[in-house]
Amino acid sequence: MFDRINSHYSSPLLFSFLLVSSAISSALSYGVINVKCKFAGTQRSLFDLKDHDSRRQLRILAGVDLPLGGSGRPNGLGLYYAKIGIGTPAKDYYVQVDTGSDLMWVNCIQCEECPKRSSLGIDLTLYNIKDSATGKLVSCDQEFCYVINGGPLAGCTANASCPYLEIYGDGSSTAGYFVKDVVLYDRVSGDLKTSSANGSVIFGCGATQSGNLDSSNEEALDGILGFGKSNTSMISQLASSGKVKKMFAHCLDGINGGGIFAIGHVVQPKVNMTPLVPNQPHYNVNMTAVQVGHDFLNLTTNIFESGELPETIIDSGTTLAYLPEIIYEPLVSKILSQQPHLKLQTVNDDYTCFQYTKSLDDAFPNVTFHFEKSVILKVHPHDYLFPYNGLWCIGWQNSGMQSRDQKNMTLLGDLVLSNKLVLYDLENQVIGWTEYNCSSSIQVLDERTGTVHLVGSHYISSACHLNVQCFIIFIFLATLLHFMSD
């Protein structure tokens, strides 16, 4: 996910940025903004695995970000991304889908620091508002600019472009302007059939970026597509114009790669839902118990009801799963007690690993998390154990050992979310999931006609290196089941 440390600008910083952006605007006659994808599509070391999640957690805690990208397995790191069209005539852009961030942005033509090539085997495209007949700048006096900044910006005049600045927890930053243009996607028109549709969306066009957002990232994409909870996200913008309900679902196939992403009301499979915690920027839920095998963890105090621990964050952009120390230690101890003769090894100072040649699911217990409304999330041994150099390593991580800001957080990433259909219902402020074959199909209701259509899985191939497992999902932005009008 790509969370912001600040969703608002401080006056001195903003004033300086406005001076710079005004000069850019005068020279180029259009505004811009950008952010660069941070997920790699190539295999990494175990150190890189934790480093990625650590930076992501800093952004989550900052307050604006959860993604819909992520690797299906820790040993085969990749990313999930979508191909969408922007502008008139439309050009293709590859953007990571992120349920943790809210805004959509792409790299723009005047950005000198933006990546020009990617090792993922895709062609990168820099957005140029001059090339689109439907592209328009968003000015400082427009409602979107007020909403995103919590009111009028000091020094930002009515005829100036609305600026955008994000500073991330890892020190990276991106800046530019907001623009409005037509975004093309596929609308479900029948069982496993789609037709082209479009809607106008305000997004960021990136002019400058620094740190991990610059051209040094070899596994770059054109930008990011935020599916967070705020009213500035793409799904919220489309919903406000009557194009779609604020409901979507994803199923990330950690076995075959690819998967399903649908916007709309999923009616099959049935999914039990748990309430989202109100007034939180991310998809937070309340955990009520933890079960290992048939036994519930005997926690000394009622940490869930007492508020001693923060809520659980559901984040498909995080690779592993992080548990507070008071849960992590008895959980891992209970798992390992099933095979007391294992010779444990510590790899890279963080991972508990061991050799084992028999069936994991026969030898180790399931881990089940319980949430409000009797919703459970079951994690099998073949999910929470992953292979590394001839060993099996435990994917659970002790957040009590993280830095101060990340200490004792509960963050459930792709380690537990892959191979499950996850349904986000922002209309009713609930979220749910169920185990599912993500290479199959789901049924989505057409709200306009009352008919139900099948939405299937997709896979975009990429030029990954040999023996590197790249999980890439073609996101069906596309399940907008309403009559489309400009």
Torsion from C-alpha of 283, 286, 292, 295, nearest 10 degrees: -160
- Residues of 452-461 as b/e, b for ≥16 C-beta within 10 angstroms? ebebebbebe
Supply 371's token pair. Answer: 């949430």
DSSP string, 280-301: -SS-EE-EEEEEETTEE---SS
Instruction: Spot the catalytic one: 3, 53, 98, 414.
Output: 98
C-alpha closest to that of 251 among 452, 459, 86: 459
Give the CA angle between residues 451, 452, 453 to the nearest 5°: 120
**What is the residue type of 354?**
F
The vertex-168 CA angle with 249 and 258, nearest 5°, equals 30
Q: For residues 101 and 47, give the distance between their C-alpha atoms in angstroms, rounded to a whole number.
A: 25
Catalytic residue among 181, 315, 383, 446: 315
From CA 393, how far away is CA 345, in angstroms rounded?
9
DSSP lists the bridge partners of residue 387 as 392
How far apart (Å, rounded) are the C-alpha atoms in residues 331 and 416?
15
98 a catalytic residue: yes
315 given a catalytic annotation: yes
Nearest of 445, 443, 446, 423 to residue 269 by alpha carbon: 443
- For residues 161 and 25, give the distance between their C-alpha atoms in angstroms, rounded to a whole number: 8
Long-range contacts from 194-199, C-beta under 8 angstroms, 24+ separation: 194/476, 194/478, 197/478, 197/480, 197/484, 198/85, 198/484, 198/486, 199/237, 199/238, 199/241, 199/243, 199/480, 199/484
Pairing of strands 375-379, 385-388: unpaired
Pairing, β 351-354 against β 345-347: antiparallel
DSSP class of residue 145 equals H
DSSP string, 56-104: HHHHHHHTS---S---S-TTS----EEEEEETTTTEEEEEEEESS---E
With H, G, I as helix, E, B as strand and everything else as coil, classify residue 257: coil
Residues annotated as catalytic (active site), given as ranges: 98, 315
